[in-house]
Structure 1
Amino acid sequence: MNAPFEVPVVDISPYVRGGTDAERAVTADAMDTACRTVGFVQVVGHAVPDEAAADLASAVDDFFALPLETKKQLCAPKGVNRGYTPPKSENLSLSLGLQAADRMNDFFEAFNTGAAVADYPDASVPLDPALYPENLWPAESLVPGFRQRVQTWEAQAGRVARTLTAVFADALGLEPDWFRGVTGHSLDVLRMNNYALPPGTVDLDGDLTGMGEHTDYGIVTVLWADQVPGLQVLGRDGHWHDVVPADGALLVNLGDAMARWTNERWMSTLHRVKPPVVDGSIQRRRSVAFFHDGDVDAVVTALPGTVEDGEEPLYPPVTIGEHISAKLAGSRDLQENTDAVREAARVLASAR
C-alpha cells in the first residue's frame, strides 16, 4: 500500500541563523528527499516576521477591493508581465501546451510586480526592458501604503528564496555559491492572486478552474497562502492532492529550471487551484507567489553527474529567458507552448 500523500516539512533555520555544518547537512538532506519525492515543501524556520505577512494580506485585500474598472487601469500592455490581470484572461494550462476548449479561462485575478532593469545597475549583460519592466503601482491615494507593504514582503520572500538556493547547492553537492552565478540579475516576480469574484460573474455549471494545471517556470517559488482548500498538487501516484499551508509555514515548490538542471532528479511539481464551492458560491482564497527564476541569460542544461554515461539529457539546453518567454506566451497571450511535452504528459496521465 502506498504511503499517504503529504508535503514534507523542512526547517531551514540552520541556514538562516548560522547553524553548524552538521545542522545544515541535516537540512540539506531533508530538502533533497523532499525535492526527490514531492517537489513541494512546507518550509519553517524562515524568520519572516508575522507582521510582514499580516501587512501583505491587508495589502492584497485593499487592492482587490477596488472597483474592477479602477483595477483595469493598471493593466500592462500585452506581453508585459506586470500590473493587473482581470479574471478569465489567462489560461495556465496553455503554458504546457494543453488545450481546454470546453473550459473557460482561469477565473483568478492577479497583480504582478517584479525586478526591473533599474534594480540591477551592475548587471553583467544588457537587460531587456520587456523582461525586466518597470512596475505599475496604484496611486497612494487609492491604496495607502500598498507599495511599502508589498515591497517589504518582496524583500522577505527574496531572502527566503536565496536562502533556499544555498540549501539546494548543498543538497546537490554543488559549490556553495553556485546559484549566485545564475541569479545575479534574476527575473524575480511577485504575483498576488485573488480567487473570489462578485456574484453572477462565474457560471458554476461547468468545470470551474481557479488556476489551470501548470508548473512554475524558474528556480523556486515561495508561496504565502490562506489556509483555505483549493491548491492541489499532482503526486507521483498520478492523483491530485489537496495542500494547505501549515501554521507558520511557507509553501515552496520547484520550477522547471531545477527539473532541467537536475535532469529530473528533482521535479517541477504540477499544481492547480480548484476553489471549493459552498452553496453555489466560491469560497474566497488568496495567495502570493514569489518566483525566483534566475538570470535571463543563464543557460539551463543538465548538471554534471545527473546523466548516466551513454545517455542524453532529458531536455535540450535553453536560457531562462527563452524558457520563460515561451511559458508566458502560453499563459498570458494564450499561445500554445510546444516546448513542454514532458510536463503536459504528466497532466494527461493524471486521474483528473
Structure 2
Amino acid sequence: MEFHVPVIDISPYVDGGSETERRAVAGAIDAAASTVGFMQITGHAIPRQVLDDFADAVDSFFDLDPATKQDYRTPPEINRGYSPPKSESLSLSLGVESATRMNDFFEAFNVGVSAAAYPHIEFSAYDYAENLWPTQVPGFRAPVEAYFAHAARIARTLTTAFADALELPPGYFTRFTDHSLDVLRMNNYALPPGSIDLDGELTGMGEHTDYGIVTVLWADQAPGLQILGADTRWHDVQPADDALLVNLGDLMARWTNERWLSTLHRVMPPITNGTIQRRRSAAFFHDGNPDARIETLPCCIGDGSKYEPITIADHLRAKLAGSRALQPNANAAREAARVLAATSGDGSPVE
C-alpha cells in the first residue's frame, strides 16, 4: 500500500462549522492518528503575511555570524535560545546510541511560554524560562510572537478536535493544557560552505519521536523529512501547498495506549551536487502542564495499559536530557525498539 499523509481541512473547527462537519473532521483525525501519526492540515487561517514575515525573521537570525549566535546559547536544561550544529543528538531522547550521534547538523533557536504568562502560579524557572531575543535582529521578536500565537491557537483547536475524535467530553484536555509548556523551535539546515564534512554518516536531525501532546510544523517544501511507516521503511514527506504538518507526541500515545501513534521521523541532508541546500522549519510543541499526570484514558485501556502513569515534567526532562544533555533516555524502551527494527539490518532499509 502506498504511504500517504492525509490532508485534513480543519476549517469547521476554526470557523464554527456545523456539528456534522466537525464530526467528519474528527473522524479524519482519528483515522490519520491511528494509522500514520501525521496529518497535513489546511483551513488553519494563518494569514500569508504572518507566515512570510515569520520566514524572513527566521532567516535574519540564522544569517548572523556564528560567534553572534553563540551568545544566545543556554544550558541543556533551559529549553530556550540557540543550539549550534552538531550539539544535539535527537536519537538519544529514545535511549538509542545512534551511529549518527553528534552528526545532527541542524541549528535551532527556541522560544517558549515564560512564567510571566501565568503570574498566579509558581513554576520551575527551568520549565518557564525567559526568552532570549536577539538584539542584532530588531525585527525578529514581533513576527515570531505573531506566528507563535497562531500556532498556539491551532494546537488548542486540534486538542478540541482530539476530544471529539476520542469521544471524550468537550474540552477534556483543557485541564491538562491551561498552562502548557509551549515551545517554538526554529530550525535551519543550511550551513556555510566548507563548514562541515559531507560524509555518509551526516544527518540533518536524527530519528526521534516528539515528546509532548501535539506538534504543529511549518516547513519549506524542500526534501529531507522522512517518516517511519508501519512497513518499517522511511518515507519522504513534503508539505502540500498552504498546509501545516501535524504529528502526535509521546504523551498522546501514552494517553491513548498507542491507539494513536507517536511516529518516528528524521531529517536527512537536503544535498544537491554535494552542497547542503537551505531548508527551514519551525516546530510548535504543545506539551501540556508540567504538573499534569498522564495515564491511559479509560476508553483506551483494553486488555491493559502499556505505560505507567507519569507527570509531564518528568517525561519531558528525561527526553530533553537525551537530546540536549546527551544522556541516553532509559525510559523509552518501546520507541527505541522501533528505531532498532528499522535500522538493524533485518531487511528494513534505512533510506
Q: Is the pair's TM-score, using the shorter chain for normalization, greater than 0.5?
A: yes
Secondary structure of 2:215 counterpart: strand
Matches within 5 A, 1:150-169: 150-169=144-163
Which of 91, 108, 131 is the matching residue for 1:110? 108
After TM superposition, the score normalised by the length of structure 1 is 0.96
Q: Distance in 2 between matches of 1:78 and 1:104?
A: 15
Q: Which runs of 5+ in 1 are unaligned?
A: none
| Segment of structure 1 superposing worse, 294-303 or 276-285 | 276-285
2:58 is equivalent to residue 60 of structure 1: yes
| Segment of structure 1 superposing worse, 149-158 or 94-103 | 94-103
2:217 is equivalent to residue 223 of structure 1: yes
Structure 1 counterpart of 2:48, one-letter code:
D
Structure 2 counterpart of 1:273, one-letter code:
V
Q: Distance in 2 between matches of 1:312 and 1:136?
A: 44
Which of 237, 240, 246 is the matching residue for 2:240? 246
Who is 1:95 aligned against? 93
> What CA deviation, in whole Å up to 9, does each residue of 1:155-201 have, x standing for no partner?
00000000000000000011111111100110000000000111112
| Segment of structure 1 superposing worse, 99-108 or 151-160 | 99-108
By how many angstroms is 1:105 displaced?
A: 3.0
> What CA deviation, in whole Å up to 9, does each residue of 1:316-343 have, x standing for no partner?
0001110000000000000000001101
Who is 1:213 aligned against? 207
Who is 1:338 aligned against? 330
Does the CA contact (< 8 Å) of 1:263 and 1:306 recur in 2? yes
Which of 13, 16, 19 is the matching residue for 1:18? 16
Q: Distance in 1 between matches of 2:278 and 2:90?
A: 20
Q: Distance in 2 between matches of 1:98 and 1:234?
A: 16
Q: Distance in 2 between matches of 1:59 and 1:255?
A: 27
Q: Which runs of 5+ in 2 are unaligned?
A: 343-347
Who is 1:256 aligned against? 250
Which of 150, 164, 169 is the matching residue for 1:175? 169
Structure 2 counterpart of 1:283, one-letter code:
Q
Aligned residue pairs, count: 344
2:340 is equivalent to residue 348 of structure 1: yes
By how many angstroms is 1:101 displaced?
A: 4.8
Who is 2:345 aligned against? none
Does the CA contact (< 8 Å) of 1:104 and 1:209 recur in 2? no
Q: 1:13 to 1:96 in 2, by over 3 A?
A: same
By how many angstroms is 1:204 displaced?
A: 1.3
Secondary structure of 1:186 counterpart: coil
Who is 1:132 aligned against? 128
Q: Distance in 2 between matches of 1:119 and 1:32?
A: 32
Who is 1:186 aligned against? 180
Does the CA contact (< 8 Å) of 2:76 and 2:321 recur in 1? no
Secondary structure of 1:305 counterpart: helix
Q: Distance in 2 between matches of 1:188 and 1:237?
A: 32
Does the CA contact (< 8 Å) of 1:43 and 1:249 recur in 2? yes
After TM superposition, the score normalised by the length of structure 2 is 0.96
Does the CA contact (< 8 Å) of 1:103 and 1:206 recur in 2? no
Does the CA contact (< 8 Å) of 2:87 and 2:102 recur in 1? no
> What CA deviation, in whole Å up to 9, does each residue of 1:114-149 have, x standing for no partner?
0111111234xx21111110101111xx11210001
